[in-house]
Amino acid sequence: MDKKRLIIYPLLFLATVALATRGFRFFDSASLLYPYLITLGAFMILFVIAQIIKDNSIVDMFWGMGFVIGAISTLVFTSNPTLLSYVVTAFIFIWGMRLSIRLIKRNWGKPEDFRYANWRKEWGDRVVIIAFFRVFMVQALINFVVGSASYTVIAFNQFSFDSYLSIFVALGLLIALTGLFFEVVGDEQLRRHILKGEKKLMDKGLWSLTRHPNYFGEIMIWIGLYIVGISLLNSQISMIFYAILIISPLLMSLVMIKISTPLLEKHMSKYDGWETYIKQTPMIFPWGKKG
Protein backbone atom coordinates (compact mmCIF):
# COMPACT_ATOMS: atom_id res chain seq x y z
CA MET A 1 0.00 0.00 0.00
CA ASP A 2 1.52 3.34 -1.02
CA LYS A 3 2.23 6.21 1.37
CA LYS A 4 -0.45 8.42 -0.19
CA ARG A 5 -3.20 6.00 0.75
CA LEU A 6 -1.76 5.58 4.24
CA ILE A 7 -2.63 9.27 4.71
CA ILE A 8 -5.94 9.28 2.83
CA TYR A 9 -7.58 6.35 4.65
CA PRO A 10 -7.21 7.78 8.20
CA LEU A 11 -8.47 11.16 6.93
CA LEU A 12 -11.52 9.50 5.36
CA PHE A 13 -12.17 7.64 8.59
CA LEU A 14 -11.93 10.82 10.68
CA ALA A 15 -14.18 12.72 8.28
CA THR A 16 -16.89 10.06 8.43
CA VAL A 17 -16.62 9.82 12.24
CA ALA A 18 -17.10 13.60 12.34
CA LEU A 19 -20.19 13.23 10.18
CA ALA A 20 -21.54 10.36 12.26
CA THR A 21 -21.04 12.19 15.57
CA ARG A 22 -22.19 15.61 14.32
CA GLY A 23 -18.77 17.19 14.59
CA PHE A 24 -17.35 14.92 17.35
CA ARG A 25 -20.06 16.24 19.72
CA PHE A 26 -22.35 13.27 20.23
CA PHE A 27 -21.15 9.70 20.75
CA ASP A 28 -24.54 8.17 21.50
CA SER A 29 -28.02 7.86 19.96
CA ALA A 30 -28.12 11.65 19.54
CA SER A 31 -25.94 11.06 16.48
CA LEU A 32 -25.52 8.55 13.67
CA LEU A 33 -22.65 6.76 15.41
CA TYR A 34 -24.47 3.45 15.89
CA PRO A 35 -25.65 3.12 12.25
CA TYR A 36 -22.11 4.08 11.20
CA LEU A 37 -20.50 1.35 13.30
CA ILE A 38 -23.07 -1.22 12.22
CA THR A 39 -22.47 -0.37 8.55
CA LEU A 40 -18.70 -0.78 9.01
CA GLY A 41 -19.25 -4.04 10.85
CA ALA A 42 -21.50 -5.40 8.11
CA PHE A 43 -18.89 -4.66 5.43
CA MET A 44 -16.18 -6.27 7.59
CA ILE A 45 -18.25 -9.46 7.85
CA LEU A 46 -18.74 -9.33 4.08
CA PHE A 47 -14.98 -8.97 3.66
CA VAL A 48 -14.38 -12.15 5.66
CA ILE A 49 -16.93 -14.04 3.54
CA ALA A 50 -15.31 -12.71 0.36
CA GLN A 51 -11.90 -14.02 1.42
CA ILE A 52 -13.35 -17.45 2.21
CA ILE A 53 -14.99 -17.79 -1.21
CA LYS A 54 -12.25 -15.76 -2.95
CA ASP A 55 -14.67 -13.35 -4.62
CA ASN A 56 -14.33 -9.66 -3.72
CA SER A 57 -16.99 -8.70 -6.26
CA ILE A 58 -19.75 -9.78 -3.84
CA VAL A 59 -19.37 -6.28 -2.39
CA ASP A 60 -21.34 -5.00 -5.40
CA MET A 61 -24.27 -7.30 -4.58
CA PHE A 62 -24.26 -5.97 -1.01
CA TRP A 63 -24.32 -2.27 -2.00
CA GLY A 64 -28.09 -1.78 -1.75
CA MET A 65 -28.35 -3.94 1.37
CA GLY A 66 -25.80 -1.69 3.07
CA PHE A 67 -28.31 1.16 2.97
CA VAL A 68 -31.06 -1.13 4.25
CA ILE A 69 -28.91 -2.04 7.26
CA GLY A 70 -28.06 1.62 7.85
CA ALA A 71 -31.69 2.76 7.64
CA ILE A 72 -33.09 -0.01 9.84
CA SER A 73 -30.39 0.39 12.48
CA THR A 74 -31.08 4.14 12.53
CA LEU A 75 -34.78 3.49 13.07
CA VAL A 76 -34.05 0.99 15.86
CA PHE A 77 -31.96 3.56 17.75
CA THR A 78 -34.46 6.41 17.19
CA SER A 79 -36.32 7.08 20.43
CA ASN A 80 -39.41 8.75 18.95
CA PRO A 81 -39.75 7.84 15.26
CA THR A 82 -42.46 9.63 13.30
CA LEU A 83 -44.52 8.51 10.33
CA LEU A 84 -41.86 10.05 8.08
CA SER A 85 -39.16 7.95 9.80
CA TYR A 86 -41.03 4.79 8.81
CA VAL A 87 -41.77 6.05 5.28
CA VAL A 88 -38.11 6.85 4.52
CA THR A 89 -36.95 3.55 6.05
CA ALA A 90 -39.53 1.62 4.00
CA PHE A 91 -38.49 3.42 0.82
CA ILE A 92 -34.81 2.61 1.35
CA PHE A 93 -35.70 -0.98 2.24
CA ILE A 94 -37.66 -1.48 -0.99
CA TRP A 95 -35.02 0.23 -3.14
CA GLY A 96 -32.01 -1.44 -1.50
CA MET A 97 -33.40 -4.96 -1.35
CA ARG A 98 -34.58 -4.80 -4.97
CA LEU A 99 -31.12 -3.71 -6.10
CA SER A 100 -29.24 -6.34 -4.09
CA ILE A 101 -31.62 -9.17 -5.04
CA ARG A 102 -31.35 -8.21 -8.71
CA LEU A 103 -27.55 -8.26 -8.59
CA ILE A 104 -27.46 -11.52 -6.66
CA LYS A 105 -29.76 -13.21 -9.20
CA ARG A 106 -27.65 -11.88 -12.06
CA ASN A 107 -24.25 -12.82 -10.63
CA TRP A 108 -24.88 -15.85 -8.41
CA GLY A 109 -22.69 -18.80 -9.36
CA LYS A 110 -20.59 -16.78 -11.78
CA PRO A 111 -16.82 -16.21 -11.44
CA GLU A 112 -15.45 -13.12 -9.75
CA ASP A 113 -16.21 -9.99 -11.78
CA PHE A 114 -13.38 -9.24 -14.24
CA ARG A 115 -12.53 -5.92 -12.56
CA TYR A 116 -11.92 -7.56 -9.19
CA ALA A 117 -10.19 -10.54 -10.82
CA ASN A 118 -7.75 -8.15 -12.53
CA TRP A 119 -7.10 -6.35 -9.24
CA ARG A 120 -6.50 -9.72 -7.56
CA LYS A 121 -3.74 -10.42 -10.09
CA GLU A 122 -2.36 -6.89 -9.82
CA TRP A 123 -2.22 -6.89 -6.01
CA GLY A 124 -0.68 -10.38 -5.78
CA ASP A 125 0.13 -11.57 -2.27
CA ARG A 126 -1.12 -8.25 -0.84
CA VAL A 127 -4.63 -8.74 -2.18
CA VAL A 128 -6.23 -9.39 1.22
CA ILE A 129 -5.01 -6.25 2.99
CA ILE A 130 -5.45 -4.00 -0.05
CA ALA A 131 -8.95 -5.34 -0.75
CA PHE A 132 -9.92 -4.73 2.87
CA PHE A 133 -9.14 -1.03 2.67
CA ARG A 134 -9.53 -0.12 -1.00
CA VAL A 135 -12.62 -2.22 -1.76
CA PHE A 136 -14.57 -2.96 1.41
CA MET A 137 -13.78 -0.12 3.80
CA VAL A 138 -13.89 2.59 1.13
CA GLN A 139 -17.25 1.30 -0.09
CA ALA A 140 -18.50 1.10 3.51
CA LEU A 141 -17.57 4.74 4.09
CA ILE A 142 -19.14 5.87 0.81
CA ASN A 143 -22.25 3.83 1.59
CA PHE A 144 -22.63 5.55 4.95
CA VAL A 145 -21.95 9.06 3.63
CA VAL A 146 -24.51 8.67 0.83
CA GLY A 147 -27.08 7.37 3.31
CA SER A 148 -26.28 9.91 6.03
CA ALA A 149 -28.81 12.55 4.98
CA SER A 150 -31.61 9.97 4.92
CA TYR A 151 -30.52 8.50 8.25
CA THR A 152 -30.61 12.00 9.71
CA VAL A 153 -34.18 12.40 8.45
CA ILE A 154 -35.16 9.07 10.02
CA ALA A 155 -33.60 9.90 13.39
CA PHE A 156 -34.36 13.59 13.87
CA ASN A 157 -37.37 14.67 11.83
CA GLN A 158 -40.33 16.28 13.59
CA PHE A 159 -42.71 15.84 10.70
CA SER A 160 -46.19 17.30 10.99
CA PHE A 161 -48.86 17.47 8.29
CA ASP A 162 -49.81 21.01 9.33
CA SER A 163 -46.26 22.36 8.93
CA TYR A 164 -45.48 24.46 5.87
CA LEU A 165 -42.30 22.39 5.52
CA SER A 166 -44.39 19.33 4.67
CA ILE A 167 -44.39 20.60 1.07
CA PHE A 168 -40.69 19.70 0.90
CA VAL A 169 -41.51 16.20 2.15
CA ALA A 170 -44.08 15.77 -0.63
CA LEU A 171 -41.74 17.22 -3.27
CA GLY A 172 -38.77 15.13 -2.14
CA LEU A 173 -40.74 11.89 -2.04
CA LEU A 174 -42.17 12.62 -5.50
CA ILE A 175 -38.65 13.10 -6.91
CA ALA A 176 -37.43 9.94 -5.14
CA LEU A 177 -40.38 7.92 -6.49
CA THR A 178 -39.67 9.25 -9.98
CA GLY A 179 -36.08 8.07 -9.57
CA LEU A 180 -37.27 4.65 -8.42
CA PHE A 181 -39.53 4.44 -11.48
CA PHE A 182 -36.63 5.17 -13.85
CA GLU A 183 -34.41 2.65 -12.10
CA VAL A 184 -36.94 -0.20 -11.91
CA VAL A 185 -38.45 0.28 -15.36
CA GLY A 186 -35.07 0.93 -16.99
CA ASP A 187 -33.64 -2.27 -15.50
CA GLU A 188 -36.67 -4.29 -16.58
CA GLN A 189 -36.57 -2.94 -20.13
CA LEU A 190 -32.88 -3.83 -20.36
CA ARG A 191 -33.52 -7.32 -18.93
CA ARG A 192 -36.17 -8.03 -21.57
CA HIS A 193 -33.90 -6.67 -24.29
CA ILE A 194 -31.07 -8.99 -23.21
CA LEU A 195 -33.43 -11.99 -23.10
CA LYS A 196 -34.15 -11.49 -26.78
CA GLY A 197 -30.51 -12.34 -27.45
CA GLU A 198 -30.02 -9.39 -29.78
CA LYS A 199 -26.42 -8.17 -29.75
CA LYS A 200 -27.28 -4.52 -30.20
CA LEU A 201 -27.75 -1.37 -28.15
CA MET A 202 -30.88 -0.86 -26.08
CA ASP A 203 -32.30 2.44 -27.31
CA LYS A 204 -36.03 2.03 -26.71
CA GLY A 205 -38.31 3.13 -23.87
CA LEU A 206 -36.54 5.04 -21.13
CA TRP A 207 -33.25 4.25 -22.87
CA SER A 208 -34.29 6.67 -25.62
CA LEU A 209 -34.51 9.48 -23.03
CA THR A 210 -31.18 8.83 -21.32
CA ARG A 211 -28.35 6.39 -21.98
CA HIS A 212 -28.45 5.39 -18.31
CA PRO A 213 -31.99 5.60 -16.90
CA ASN A 214 -31.03 3.46 -13.88
CA TYR A 215 -28.17 5.80 -12.97
CA PHE A 216 -30.39 8.84 -13.49
CA GLY A 217 -32.96 7.19 -11.24
CA GLU A 218 -30.45 6.55 -8.48
CA ILE A 219 -29.28 10.17 -8.54
CA MET A 220 -32.90 11.37 -8.33
CA ILE A 221 -33.60 9.07 -5.38
CA TRP A 222 -30.87 10.58 -3.22
CA ILE A 223 -31.66 14.15 -4.31
CA GLY A 224 -35.30 13.54 -3.42
CA LEU A 225 -34.51 12.07 -0.02
CA TYR A 226 -32.23 15.03 0.70
CA ILE A 227 -35.03 17.47 -0.12
CA VAL A 228 -37.31 15.55 2.27
CA GLY A 229 -34.86 16.48 5.02
CA ILE A 230 -35.49 20.20 4.61
CA SER A 231 -38.36 19.47 7.01
CA LEU A 232 -35.63 19.07 9.68
CA LEU A 233 -34.94 22.79 9.80
CA ASN A 234 -37.33 23.31 12.73
CA SER A 235 -35.74 20.55 14.85
CA GLN A 236 -32.49 19.96 16.75
CA ILE A 237 -30.46 19.65 13.54
CA SER A 238 -28.80 22.91 12.56
CA MET A 239 -29.02 24.37 9.07
CA ILE A 240 -25.23 24.27 8.83
CA PHE A 241 -25.05 20.55 9.58
CA TYR A 242 -27.81 19.69 7.14
CA ALA A 243 -26.16 21.88 4.50
CA ILE A 244 -23.01 19.77 4.95
CA LEU A 245 -25.10 16.65 4.37
CA ILE A 246 -25.68 17.73 0.77
CA ILE A 247 -22.54 15.65 0.26
CA SER A 248 -24.95 12.68 0.24
CA PRO A 249 -26.58 13.30 -3.18
CA LEU A 250 -23.44 15.01 -4.50
CA LEU A 251 -21.25 11.99 -3.74
CA MET A 252 -23.74 9.59 -5.33
CA SER A 253 -23.96 11.82 -8.40
CA LEU A 254 -20.16 11.97 -8.63
CA VAL A 255 -19.85 8.17 -8.40
CA MET A 256 -22.54 7.64 -11.03
CA ILE A 257 -21.31 10.28 -13.50
CA LYS A 258 -17.54 10.06 -13.11
CA ILE A 259 -16.96 6.39 -12.26
CA SER A 260 -19.88 4.08 -13.14
CA THR A 261 -20.94 5.76 -16.39
CA PRO A 262 -17.48 5.90 -18.08
CA LEU A 263 -16.88 2.22 -17.27
CA LEU A 264 -20.23 1.18 -18.72
CA GLU A 265 -19.98 3.43 -21.76
CA LYS A 266 -16.61 1.94 -22.62
CA HIS A 267 -18.38 -1.41 -22.85
CA MET A 268 -21.41 0.00 -24.72
CA SER A 269 -19.24 1.72 -27.32
CA LYS A 270 -18.40 -1.68 -28.81
CA TYR A 271 -21.91 -2.04 -30.22
CA ASP A 272 -22.95 -0.90 -33.69
CA GLY A 273 -24.81 2.40 -33.75
CA TRP A 274 -23.05 3.81 -30.70
CA GLU A 275 -22.04 7.09 -32.35
CA THR A 276 -25.57 7.70 -33.58
CA TYR A 277 -27.02 6.80 -30.17
CA ILE A 278 -24.89 9.29 -28.23
CA LYS A 279 -25.78 12.06 -30.69
CA GLN A 280 -29.49 11.44 -30.14
CA THR A 281 -29.58 10.60 -26.43
CA PRO A 282 -28.24 12.52 -23.38
CA MET A 283 -25.80 10.68 -21.14
CA ILE A 284 -27.55 10.87 -17.74
CA PHE A 285 -30.15 13.59 -17.46
CA PRO A 286 -33.00 13.49 -20.04
CA TRP A 287 -32.78 17.27 -20.36
CA GLY A 288 -28.97 17.19 -20.64
CA LYS A 289 -26.62 17.80 -23.53
CA LYS A 290 -26.45 15.13 -26.21
CA GLY A 291 -23.22 13.70 -27.54
Q: For residue 102, give its domain range.
A: 1-157
| Burial readout 185-209 (b: 16 or more C-beta within 10 A, e: otherwise) | ebbebbeebeeeeeeebbbeebbee
Which of 157, 179, 200 is the endpoint of a domain? 157
**Shared domain check, 28 and 43:** yes
**Shared domain check, 152 and 175:** no
Q: Has this prediction a pTM greater than 0.85?
A: yes
**Shared domain check, 133 and 9:** yes
Which of 157, 190, 206 is the endpoint of a domain? 157
Which of 157, 189, 209 is the endpoint of a domain? 157
Straight-line distance from the first to the last Cα atom of the chain, in angstroms, rounded to the nearest whole number: 39
**Shared domain check, 74 and 175:** no
**Shared domain check, 130 and 236:** no
**Shared domain check, 186 and 74:** no
DSSP 110: S
**Shared domain check, 117 and 216:** no
Per-residue pLDDT of the chain in tens (291 residues, 90 and over written 9): 566 777 888 899 999 999 999 999 999 988 999 999 999 999 999 999 999 999 999 999 999 999 999 999 999 999 999 999 999 999 999 999 999 999 999 888 899 988 899 899 999 999 999 999 999 999 999 999 999 999 999 999 988 888 888 999 999 999 999 999 999 999 999 999 988 887 788 889 999 999 999 999 999 999 999 999 998 887 778 889 999 999 999 999 999 999 889 988 988 888 888 999 999 999 999 998 886
The three-class DSSP label of residue 7 is: helix
| Domains: count for the chain | 2
**Shared domain check, 137 and 10:** yes
